Amino acid sequence: MRTLIVGNGGDADAGLVGHRLAEHGSTFERAAREYPREWPSLGGVDVVVLLGSDWSVYWDSNALEVAAEADLVRTARGRGVPIFGICFGAQLISHALGGFVERAPRHEIGWYDVGQIADNEVLAGPWMQWHYDRFTAPQGMSTLAMNDVGVQAMYGGRTLATQFHPEVTPAIVQRWATVGARELDAVGIDPKHLCEITTEKVVERGDATARLVDWFLEKAAS
């Protein structure tokens, strides 16, 4: 299995999601979303993972890059290549398929329940969040989880999109908290406390990410 990981330069760590894909035998190629002309071909790619970003889909400053990634989503879906989109990646999928992305009524930074719907117990429990935007589920995508902020997970056409971050490790959140210390201070969040909670939660919840990746691969193969 060959996985293409799309993320911003310097922040393209697929964390626990990548670890589980590796346990399924995947090898990895990486594409910096800032440089779409340098992306490898989709030929031979079995899975695409779209990571989070400090961008917003609707910013004018990255409109060309967003358009290129949206085209990648549509091309991959047209070829039947499974896609796993996380946070910005999920919002990008919504945008690419005709959904709507906007500023959320409030931010979610920390560990939150995501309001799984029906019997999707694979989504149960708290997940790490770090976002200010929200998205709608476009035609052809079914909402799997939703809370009072917005859609938290959707699936359709071999594509899974999660507003939350199942990939996080303590090292990933430590990096985000270091780079975003002023951002966290502005919203009243203690970076040290966030990192401490994350270390505890990853120990408790690490298997949850493995189950989610397994579920995604099983659904994509069916």
Q: Which of 65, 69, 108, 167 is catalytic?
A: 167
Which are the contacts of 182, defined by CB distance < 8 A and separation ≥ 6? none
Query: Catalytic: 19?
Result: no
Q: Which of 65, 69, 108, 165 is catalytic?
A: 165
Q: Would you state the structure tokens that stand for residue 191, as one six-digit string?
A: 């970076």
CB 129, CB 109: distance < 8 Å: yes
69 phi-psi bin (left φ>0, alpha ψ -120 to 50, beta other): alpha
DSSP E strand boundaries for 8-125: 27-32, 47-50, 83-86, 101-113
Q: Would you state the structure tokens that stand for residue 15, as one six-digit string?
A: 């964390």
Query: Catalytic: 87?
Result: yes
What is the four-CA torsion angle of 112, 124, 137, 21, rounded to 10 degrees?
Answer: 100
Query: Catalytic: 165?
Result: yes
Q: Which of 87, 95, 108, 131 is catalytic?
A: 87
Q: What are phi and psi of 115, to 5 degrees?
A: 70, 55
Element (H, E) at 127: strand 126-135
Q: Kindly list the catalytic residues.
A: 87, 165, 167
